[in-house]
Amino acid sequence: MTEISTNPGTLPAGPDIKPKLSRDDILMRGSMIVIALYLVATLVLPLYTMLSKSFSTYRMELSQYEFQVSDESGNFDGTIQSAETLNEQTGAFSDTDLATGSDGRLSVTALFPNFSFRSPVMYQIRNTSDTGRFLVGSTLQDGTDWVTLDSNEFRRVQLRPVQSRGLDNFVNYFSTPALFNSVKNSLWISVLSTIVTVTLAFWFAYALNRSCMRFKGVFRLIAMAPILVPSLLPGIALVYLFGNQGMIKELLFGASIYGPIGIVIGSVFFTFPHAFLIISTALAISDARLYEAAASLRSTPWRTFWTVTVPGARYGLISAAFVVFNLVITDFGLPKVIGGQFNVLAVDIYKQVIGQQNFEMGAVVSVVLVIPAILAFTIDRMVQSKQVALLSARSVPYQPTPNRKTDRIFLAYCCLIGLFIVGLLAVCQFAALIKFWPYDLSLSLKNYDFNKMDGGGWGSYVNSIKLALLTAAIGTSVVFFGAYLVEKSNGFRTGRAIFQMFAMLPMAIPGMVLGLSYIFFFNNPSNPLNGIYGTMAILVICTVTHFYTVSHLTAVTALKQMDREFESVSSSLKQPTMKLFARVTVPVCLPAVLDISIYLFVNAMTTVSAVVFLYSPKTTLASIAVLNMDDAGDIAPAAAMGMMIFYTNAAARIVHLIASKGILKRTQAWRSR
């Protein structure tokens, strides 16, 4: 799941050849524009709509209302007072009182200091313009005629806000401690999880690459397991382990698992494979001559470790840290399940949108969440671009030498990590099979009767598989073809640069933000694409876009390994590029194509954050069902469904493995002579 850093900027510039545009070139540029437009429609425009939504505010426009007050016997003398002047006289409402949300209401009696609901005084109220709206009780009045009310009815008058634009939402956000606190919470929880995960993953990868311990293959497999489950599954396992009825809650010494502790432990679980993969790649290759030099200079192993090993892996460590940081800060499922009262940004978006239907505030929190995510992503990219090759042609690959003592220590360490990962999964499976924890410990399959629970039943499981297959098929085609065009077409530099930028953008956009922006963009009746809202199509599009970047980078890396001369040869043989693409490029890059498709499949099965805003009653998903069943308190069925996702993904991986072996044997025979 990692990407290998590629930067076209450091490649030596090739000779400047400017051939005439052939039909092939036009076709390729046309296709590239089509895919770029796809990215614009599914990423750039929705994000823009969301950004503009965050500036959409609601205000009480007092100048829109006029009043008349009668005397005690109910006669009006014709004096008309505007609400604005009344407010200036009485000072009843401050400016912040007037800034409100879409469902804001303002009672007007405060404008009349002498008001009493028992008094015989009559009131008249009207809107001065068509945009004015007020309620009497819950009946909407939007006309400009006078409405006459007695005092008792007049206290039921509520003004309604009008829409305008401005920074009010942001001011409101940063002046509400309940909301603003989440920024702090999100940041420190992400930093802590990053430090813990990267440290643990580093030693795990070190053991697997630099020691001679046994069972390396098994540990490699175990380390990858968390990728196959939704991020909220470890949360459920932790509830069973450390909750108030937990199996080993004593280990927490009275601390509550619901909160930062739970989020950090769960985050370590689900980000571990990502960190491990990146660091492991960095540690896999090393120049043995450096270690020989260190040894001949009589450096202690400790010193060698800090001066040779760590610097050699620094780019991997930095990259792993940023990837983990981004995963944790944008994750929504885990804090939702185990966060308790500990508010984080991603959950705030959900609460604002689903709980309060306050879409504007949801957009504001999204903008706030995007900032650290984009920062982390950009810094990582900048650092990676400085990376230079460590391994030259003269390097001697480092081979670890057996050392009984350290190998044993490493084995013990890996067993601990393995136990942590397998343990959490086993707990979920165990919980899923128990009839009624903790009162009835008999085994039963009752928790698999999903049709009796919230979340869409077995239908959602079927939907998830459909989504995963469609995402894998469509996503792989679009991504690989797009990468081919951008990598192999001639000229058109600006277009290609813009395309590259669009392709990198999804990585920096948190799923919650993407999903919310899709609501704003697609659920708008005037949008011609409105029809796909609530269908499987929007889920596929959203998932493909969400996971576009890593797939794109994998494809680009594979394509870079193919010399551009293939294109030159084919054009000199007067063969259409598309034929070359189908007959040569795709078969040669088949390993990468298969990797992309399994990556998309697995992520489509486990994703929660983006699709949580987009599923409809007909397209409920298994991962969302886990969330909703947990939300409704059906924790054991949630664990059961989570494990179904795990088994499905594991099966998909095995099928992928077998299929790739078979296909590769046929298509990649040329690689070994």
CB of 454 to another protein, least distance (A): 8
CB of 358 to another protein, least distance (A): 9
The greatest distance separating any two alpha carbons of the chain, rounded to the nearest whole angstrom, comes to 108
49 binds another protein (CB under 8 A): no
The DSSP 8-state label assigned to residue 70 in this structure reads B
Choose between 82 and 256: whose C-beta lies nearer to another protein.
Answer: 256
Pick the stretch among 2-10, 252-260, 263-271, 577-585 that binds another protein (CB under 8 A): 252-260
Size of the site for another protein (CB under 8 A): 57
Instruction: Please list every residue from 449 through 478 that binds another protein, using CB under 8 A.
Output: 451-452, 456
523 binds another protein (CB under 8 A): yes
User: How far is 348 from 240, CA to CA, in rounded Å?
Assistant: 25
Instruction: Please list every residue from 81 through 100 that binds another protein, using CB under 8 A.
Output: 100
User: How far is 285 from 288, CA to CA, in rounded Å?
Assistant: 9
> 218 exposed, middle or buried (CB, 10 Å; 0-12, 13-18, 19+)?
exposed
Going residue by residue from 140 to 159, which x/- string records binding to another protein, judged by CB under 8 A? x-x-------------x-x-
The tokens of 32 are what? 């590239």
Choose between 67 and 520: whose C-beta lies nearer to another protein.
Answer: 520
User: How far is 500 from 483, CA to CA, in rounded Å?
Assistant: 9
Choose between 302 and 439: whose C-beta lies nearer to another protein.
Answer: 439
253 membership: H or E segment, kind and range: none
587 binds another protein (CB under 8 A): no
Residues 6+ positions from 435 with CB-CB distance below 8 Å: 441, 442, 443, 444, 446
CB of 449 to another protein, least distance (A): 12
CB of 175 to another protein, least distance (A): 10
Helices marked H in 489-564: 493-508, 511-522, 536-546, 548-560
Residue of 22, 30, 63, 103 that binds another protein (CB under 8 A): 103
User: Could you tell me which residues are beta bridge partners of residue 164?
Assistant: 57
591 binds another protein (CB under 8 A): no
Residue of 129, 164, 357, 385 that binds another protein (CB under 8 A): 357
User: How far is 36 from 548, CA to CA, in rounded Å?
Assistant: 12
| 3-state SS class at 391 | coil
Pick the stretch among 195-203, 221-229, 349-357, 400-408 that binds another protein (CB under 8 A): 349-357
N-to-C CA span, the chain: 29
Residue of 105, 220, 466, 488 that binds another protein (CB under 8 A): 105
The DSSP 8-state label assigned to residue 13 in this structure reads P
Cα 344 from chain centroid? 14
User: How far is 150 from 167, CA to CA, in rounded Å?
Assistant: 39
Instruction: Please list every residue from 379 through 438 that binds another protein, using CB under 8 A.
Output: 436-438
Pick the stretch among 14-22, 60-68, 237-245, 555-563 that binds another protein (CB under 8 A): 237-245
Question: Which residue do the tokens 């189908």 mark?
Answer: 582
248 binds another protein (CB under 8 A): no
525 binds another protein (CB under 8 A): yes
Nearest to 325 by CA among 369, 280, 261: 369
Going residue by residue from 608 to 647, which x/- string records binding to another protein, judged by CB under 8 A? --------xx-------------xxxxx------------
Peptide bond before 8: cis, by omega within 30 degrees of 0?
no
Amino acid at 495: G
Pick the stretch among 67-75, 251-259, 266-274, 373-381 that binds another protein (CB under 8 A): 251-259
528 binds another protein (CB under 8 A): no
Instruction: Please list every residue from 112 through 141 that binds another protein, using CB under 8 A.
Output: 135, 137-140
177 binds another protein (CB under 8 A): yes
What is the phi/psi pair of residue 93, to 5°? -120, 130
Summary count for the chain: helices (H), strands (E): 29, 13
160 binds another protein (CB under 8 A): yes
134 membership: H or E segment, kind and range: strand 134-136
> 514 exposed, middle or buried (CB, 10 Å; 0-12, 13-18, 19+)?
buried
CB of 576 to another protein, least distance (A): 47
Contact footprint for another protein (CB under 8 A): 100-105, 107, 135, 137-140, 142, 156, 158, 160, 176-178, 181, 185, 239, 243-245, 256, 258-259, 336, 340-343, 351, 353-357, 359, 436-440, 451-452, 456, 523, 525, 616-617, 631-635
